Amino acid sequence: MQNRMMITGAGSGLGREIALRWACEGWRLALSDVGEEGLKQTLAMVREAGGSGFIQRCDVRDYSQLVALAQACETQFGGIDVIVNNAGVASGGFFAELSLEDWDWQIAINLMGVVKGCKAFLPLLEQSKGRIINIASMAALMQGPAMSNYNVAKAGVVALSESLLVELRQLDIGVHVVCPSFFQTNLLDSFRGPTPAMKAQVGKLLESSPISAADIAEYIWQQVARGQFMILPHEQGRLAWHLKQHDPQALYDEMASMAEKMRAKARPGQS
């Protein structure tokens, strides 16, 4: 029976909720994150939900740590059936304000972390005819203002997933990419941007979201079972993607107008 899963960024947020959703089905989970405290909590919750597994600290920027995680999965589980490349960080700021270091940090974690995760686990997935679930973002499809480095990193995750979808089909490896919009999470803990105002604006979006990480994990479970490649958990996100496919210029105009409003808000002395 295929029931072995690895999740990066499993110490909190969506990674934790994915672990809990699959734990309900009795899966064995390899949980990784940069912080061990959150991982211990997730593992305790997983066991309570009916799953089992182990934790291993892993920084997705370091390929050798991902290879060590893959080896641990082979040792403890005898292989792996599904990998979830979920670890990610938030950032924002207008292009002119973002430093090249901001770009390097964002690409290293949100894009190259996924590339390295796929690379490290591919040999195990070839043996099990397993699945890859990459967590991108609606930012990959919509390219909202004042988050260009985040948009580019997440768009890269979609392009990587599309590439793997067509390359790995003949190896019987399934590929899925998830593009959530804003949802209630602790993503702001990792937020990096040039202005506090930008963090406050993103915070408002996260708080106003009607959908939780647990809702998204449930939606991912259902869509993966159906074999859906691109998974868009938010109804608004599905509508926006539909609009972009049919009338991209209308969406660009909307985004440009949003950028104008954001600039106005960010100006000192204005609320």
Q: Which are the catalytic amino acids?
A: 150
- Which residues are within 8 A (CB) of 12 and not within 5 positions of it... i.e. 6 or more apart? 33, 38, 42, 185, 186
- The answer for residues whose C-beta is within 8 angstroms of residue 169's C-beta and 6 or more apart is none
Within 8 A by CB and 6+ apart from 34, the residues are: 11, 57, 58, 59, 87
Which residues have C-beta within 8 Å of that of residue 235, sequence separation ≥ 6? none
Q: What's the token pair of residue 121?
A: 């686990």
Quick check: helix, strand or coil at residue 28?
Answer: strand
Closest CA to 120 of 168, 78, 160, 80: 80
CA distance 116 to 228: 23
* Residue 52 DSSP SS3: strand
Angle ∠(7,30,114) on CA atoms, nearest 5:
30
